[in-house]
Amino acid sequence: MTKPLNIGMIGYGFMGRAHSNGYRKVNNFFPLEHRPVLKAVCARNRDKAQAFADTWGYESIETDWRELLKREDIDAVDICTPNNLHKEVAIAAAEAGKMILCEKPLAMNVKEGEQMVAAVKKAGVRNMVWYNYRRVPAVTLAKQIIDEGRLGRVFHYRAVFLQDWTISADVPQGGAGTWRLDVDAAGSGVTGDLLAHCIDTAIWLNGPITKVTAMTETFVKERKHAESGKVAKVGIDDACAFLAQFKNGALAVFESTRYARGHKALYTFEINGERASISWDLHDLHRLGYFDHRDESKLRGWRSIHVTDSDHPYMGNWWVPGLQIGYEHSFVHQVADFLKSLETGENAQPDFESALETQRVCDAVLKSAASGKWTDVV
């Protein structure tokens, strides 16, 4: 018999759906001691919350997250709201003794993140941040290959995350769907939204980032606010490019924008080591590029590893070799790892403390862009 883990989810948008799908599928594919129970979903609009609960099988709804936290039948709180609510909800959830699964970025800034880390430590509650790209099997395989020492000394890391959905000046800021353009709701633009993913993966694969120099641009300076109806200054970064150095000496280039016409969600990274290189592309997420200089010279070249074999990370739990999985499965894997952490007693990674490192890099990037100077990550 599996043990129930009662989930209370706050927010039912894009991530609310991705996580709910993960909770529903995980026990069909992963043998685990615990089973998520969709106990309650919380959103401000009662009808919409009820419609979501009916679609996804939640047993009940709440319209105020504080009421959700008071409920004794909730074990774990899943924060799927815009970034400006992460801190308040997470600290209150920790004080209520709940486990916390929080969406990324951890917080609006380092100061908030530090308060959140202190709160979960004080309360001793299990915590995790949804940097789900770590759980794409090809990305997890990249981690294994690096940890096996196959790359040798790493010289270069480069990552981009490109989109094109905010080019029109008619896109509003604030409100449902467009809160990402409102600095008060998002904290920053592409830096906290997209580069945070690239930074999390980079730190995981190649260790700490020590210093950065960045530039940002806000191409559309004013936009109508969806809630007030007034035209207001845009406070987020529309695009950001930065150079960085890792503690291991490797140099890095990162770029992200929502103004790369033709790109919807192009996340790619490449790592160049002394003996081998690795590349990955979200649009072909089940493949890992690998070049090994030690191969016989006449056969040497980039391999495209189809990451579907049963000895590839997570893949033994899915179909048969050759049949690939997709984006949604990274969330199933993250739920599986969270449930596994209840068996082992260790937080599934990244936990709040680890995600705070990504926040420190984001803050340093924004500070550097404002000052025009190289900035240490502190």
For residue 295, the minimal CB distance to ligand NAD (Å) is 35
> Residues 168-197 vs ligand NAD: string with x where CB under 6 A?
--------xx-x-------------x----
Closest CA relative to residue 86, chosen from 104, 73, 74, 64: 104
Looking at beta carbons only, is 199 or 276 nearer to ligand NAD? 199
Instruction: Say if residues 80 and 103 touch (Cβ distance below 8 Å).
Output: yes
Rounded-to-integer distance, Cα 332 and Cα 348, Å = 13
Residue among 81, 166, 341, 354 that touches ligand NAD (CB under 6 A): 81
Instruction: Say if residues 254 and 195 touch (Cβ distance below 8 Å).
Output: yes
Looking at beta carbons only, is 15 or 362 nearer to ligand NAD? 15
Residue among 3, 4, 33, 44 that touches ligand NAD (CB under 6 A): 44
Residue written as token pair 């559309």:
220
Looking at beta carbons only, is 8 or 82 nearer to ligand NAD? 82
Within residues 224-253, the interface with ligand NAD by CB under 6 A covers none
Count other Cβ atoms within 10 Å, centred on residue 17.
16
62, containing H or E segment:
strand 60-62
Kindly state the tokens that stand for 295.
């191969």
DSSP letter at 283 equals G
For residue 53, the minimal CB distance to ligand NAD (Å) is 12
Q: Is 258 one of the binding residues for ligand NAD (CB under 6 A)?
A: no
Residue written as token pair 């309360």:
123
**Which range binds ligand NAD by CB under 6 A, 42-50, 205-213, 245-253, 355-363?**
42-50
Q: Is 65 one of the binding residues for ligand NAD (CB under 6 A)?
A: yes
Rounded-to-integer distance, Cα 302 and Cα 113, Å = 40
Count other Cβ atoms within 10 Å, centred on residue 276.
20
Residue among 9, 85, 101, 239 that touches ligand NAD (CB under 6 A): 85
Q: Is 103 one of the binding residues for ligand NAD (CB under 6 A)?
A: yes
| One-letter amino acid for residue 336 of the chain | A
Q: Which residues bind ligand NAD (CB under 6 A)?
A: 10-16, 42-44, 65, 80-83, 85, 103-104, 130, 132, 176-177, 179, 193
